[in-house]
A and B are shown apart, each in its own frame.
Chain A
Amino acid sequence: MIDTDVLEATLGHALRSGGDFAEVFVEDRRSSNGRFDDGRVEELVSSRERGAGIRVVVGEMTGFAHTADLSVEGLAQAADAAAGAARGGGGGARAIELVAQDVVRSHEVAVLPETVEKRRKVELLTRADAAARAEGGAITSVTASYADGRRRIQVANSDGLLASDEAVRTRFAVQCVATGDTGMQTGHEAPGLSIGFEMFDTIDPEDVARAAARRAITLLDAVPAPSGKLPVVLKRGAGGVLFHEACGHGLEADHIQKDASVFTGCVGEQVASPYVTIVDDGTYPREWGTFGIDDEGHPAQRNVLIENGVLTDYMWDLLRARKEGRASSGNGRRQTYRDLPMVRMTNTFVTAGESDPDDIIRSVEHGIYCVQLGGGQVNPATGDFVFGVTEAYMIEGGEITNPIRAAQLIGNGPDVMRMVDAVGNDFDTWTGMCGKNGQSVPVSSGQPTLLVREMTVGGTAA
């Protein structure tokens, strides 16, 4: 992307009036997406983003500037702006010698998106629409979208690190509206993987569409969700996002260093039920949150955060780790070259346990069974979270019964983790985008079927 000697000169330039650390992050991203709505291909959109972000660190202070001008002059100008913002360090000219790092990728990409004819991408959308509508006349509206992206990055820093990586991601989403006597209901399904067009060898767009359509139709017959404290069974894959929100964010070292997490000072303590082991694994092959190197050039890692209920470590980016005199855990990520990196999750999983998922459901006398959660939100300082539930059922006498609608799960992260009473021997993952301080990055979450003894369900039933 950028020649090594230009990167070396830019880093030298960034540090010429002092500073402890300088970094150049270069990104070139091409993406395309298509949207089918209202019975027709509504639009096909391509985009291209290319630029560099430069930061200079002096003590606790970071100066940052970015530019879409990747010429020698453009980079020097951005380096000046970043250095100016972080002025005040000592030292003088430094010669930087970059050493290229080998990057290990957990999997290969077989079919690059730009090698696939646009016509084939559009066909997937048309097939999805037909499959969804074939589920019944109740389906009154179908929206399908296809998206792919290829992101190449290059990172160079004043420690001599030089590394580059390429990530390809493909996603397919279908949303259906079903209309019946009870009004309109929606169903949504949106798988995504860090691979190319070969994703459609294993994920059938028609299956995705049928899942979304059935979900919407099921909700037409749903009863209003109950309110109050109830046992909650989270189906495999469905609840990982709850642990991402309720626990993961509180384990990010930036919140810890700001004393703005309920988990501050809890390493070595029992913070969850002994059934709970949580890992954040940026190396998991093909998963949505997987990469070779993070956006600071550190290789992706598998990090155990909670082992048998005991908090083992937080997640770290470069600057927070430097402050503690330790290594990054490979969790420094940014949305684009225009953003500063911060501590972010990758693929965050509750690992499988030993219970039979059917036994877990049978053990509940009166509770709810969640099959799909919508988005959620957490306040890491307090651990309080709330989640929308997009597909769920009542459990009565150990049997799954009526579908319910308009439920929210509300609770406190540490409380919920202590109330995990059973963990299944199954496992699945879920694809999403995680937002933090205005930046959105691809992540996945995952978990086996598990039972939370009690959670507040906020429903609309009288």
Chain B
Amino acid sequence: MSNLQEIARRVADSAAAGEQVEAYVVRTRETDVEVFGGEVESLTTAGIEGIGVRVIVDHRLGYASAGSLDPDVIEETVREARDNAAFGEPDGDNALVTPDDLEGLAPPDLDLWRENAMPTDEKVRIALELEAATKAGDPRIRGVEAAGYGDGSSETAIANSHGVTSYTRRTTCSAYAVALADDGTGTQSGYGFTVGRAFDDLDIPSVSRDAVERACRLLGAKPVPGRRIPVVLDPLVTRSFLGVLSSAFNGESVLKGRSLFVGREGEKIGAPTLTLVDDPTDPRALGAALYDSEAVPTRRNALITDGVLQGFLHNVYTGRRAHLRSTGSAVRGGYSTTPGVGIRALRLEPGTRTPEELMASVPEALYVQSVSGLHSGTNPISGDFSVGAEGLMVRGGAFQEPVREVTIASTLQRMLLDVTEVGSDLTFLPGAAAGVTILIGEMTMSGA
């Protein structure tokens, strides 16, 4: 048993009569190298430990957290959580997960840990070479704004006073570069990155290639006249939209009447070509996990199948309120927050045609390489959105003139119905959603 499990167990066991107590204990280690101008700019070695304690007494919930596992700090944290519970309002659905809730459930068979013995000098070398390769990638690259390499590991132990426990550990590894291009028409920037569980998973050459290509192809970008036009979303942009859309599938939003899809289970909410799943049991997803943030085993959850809404995601609390089981979808922002509901590995099922074939299927389209202001520009409750976009015009199936300073606008509901086709290029990306190229029949583009 690791020392984290012991700590979690001890806190959970300290529950008094009539009290439910849960401890979430986490430890992370990481190394980050950032380089600039051919030299190491910073090298960070860090370790974080922390604990979050949930106490439920008389159906009242209290929470407290601390960024330390010192025994005296843990004691103070449990005391604070208990004290806070006295001010919560009673709610019969406040409860921790019990062994009965987990009857018949088992975690997926996933190994998310890779031993890492890479010396620091090697990490520095990787980052410096990445920067140099980015700089040399094209004569129009005038600089590299940032480049770096990082890796880390985390361990999480959960225990509650009903005897439910979980322990997981995982590793991550990543590299990135931001290129600045200028050919006299003004600066454009582009980034590239690669992520995996270990260095062997990384595609380092793709980082500089992507950063260079994404910066250079926008050189000379200008606003274009506004109109309604088919839109092709880059996999990264699709990923961002899925992230925003995910709150509509959150059981908590649904219960509070804040989801776009309240009460629409079984109805058609998307184009028939659209199938959306959140599947943390898929080892390819960076967000893959054995257990959720309250020790419930994860599972594959279908959200939209062939355009039809299947259901919503729940943790133990929202599940109880909706008279459903948890879908294993409790997530936390870290030890300092109570478990909410969220996605871990959201993806659209890919189609059969390549992005090039999608682009060739319409006479003209706007290819959106990146969007800005997605969170500020989207109202997840009404579904209205209007976001800044840059990218390229597509005609004859090929990229034409670059475009910037335009906005694209629609509603999330409309966009799901307007997806003409999903590409075959499913790409697993950092964060909780995967990317894929999609073609949308029509959107409002406003520009010059």
Contact = CB atoms under 8 A, between A and B. Distances in A.
Interface in B424-448: 444, 446-448
B388 A384 contact: yes
Interface string B268-294: 000000000000000000000000000
A322 interface: no
Q: Which 6 A-B pairs have the closest CB atoms?
A: A458-B407, A388-B376, A386-B388, A227-B446, A375-B376, A386-B373
Given A49-B67, A64-B44, A386-B372, A177 B39 contact: no
B44 A375 contact: no
Interface string B358-384: 000000000000001101111101111
A118 B37 contact: no
B409 interface: yes
Contacts of A81: 45
Contacts of A122: 87
Interface stretch (B152-160, B180-188, B230-238, B346-354): B180-188
A50 B84 contact: no
A462 B444 contact: yes
B83 A118 contact: yes
Given A60-B40, A184-B382, 8 more contacts: A41-B88, A51-B67, A186-B381, A228-B446, A385-B372, A408-B387, A408-B409, A456-B448
B203 interface: no
A68 B409 contact: no
Which range contains the number of B residues in contact with the other chain?
A: 35 or more
Interface in A16-52: 34, 37-38, 40-51
A210 interface: no
B386 A407 contact: yes
A34 B87 CA distance: 10
A251 B241 CA distance: 31
Contacts of A388: 373, 375-378, 386
A45 B53 CA distance: 10
B229 to A, nearest CB: 13
Tell me if B's interface is mostly helix, strand, loop or mixed: strand
Nearest to B81: A46
Interface string B48-70: 11000000000001111111101
A457 B446 contact: yes
B80 interface: yes
- Of the candidates A43, A67, A85, A459, the one having the most CB atoms from chain B within 10 angstroms of its own CB is A43
Contacts of B337: 45
B62 A411 contact: no
B145 A68 contact: no
B231 to A, nearest CB: 14
Interface of B: 36-37, 39-49, 61-68, 70, 73, 76-77, 80-81, 83-84, 87-89, 91, 120, 142-143, 145-146, 180, 186-189, 223, 226, 255-258, 336-338, 372-373, 375-379, 381-388, 390, 404-411, 444, 446-448
Contact of A45 (B70, B84, B386, B447): B84
A229 interface: yes
A66 interface: yes
Contact of A177 (B63, B80, B226, B258): B258
B218 to A, nearest CB: 9
Nearest to B142: A259
A45 B409 contact: no
B315 to A, nearest CB: 14
A118 B448 CA distance: 54
A51 B409 contact: no
A63 B34 CA distance: 11
B66 to A, nearest CB: 5
